[in-house]
Amino acid sequence: MKNISVIGAGAMGNGIAHVFAMNGFSVSMIDISQQALEKGMQTIAANLDRMVKKN
């Protein structure tokens, strides 16, 4: 199993997607709202930036 679908791009959904992606899985994040998907992707990007700065 290497493909993951996460339904919902909110706080939990984007966090789950982030963790799976960091561990080598191909992730699809699904939400009924395009705005929620964009915000989820922005949150993941911000979290990755923060991780890079700490390391």
Residues 25-55: tens digit of each pLDDT: 999 999 999 999 999 999 999 999 999 999 7
Please tell me what DSSP assigns to residue 24.
T
pTM of the shown model: 0.86
Who wins on pLDDT, 14 or 55?
14
Burial class (CB in 10 A: 0-12, 13-18, 19+), 37: middle
Distance between CA atoms of residues 42 and 6, nearest Å: 16
> How far is the C-alpha of 37 from the C-alpha of 40, rounded, in Å?
5
Task: Write the Ramachandran bin of 8: left for phi over 0, alpha for psi from -120 to 50, otherwise beta.
Answer: left
Are the beta carbons of 6 and 29 closer than 8 angstroms?
Answer: yes
Q: Is the pLDDT of residue 6 over 90?
A: yes
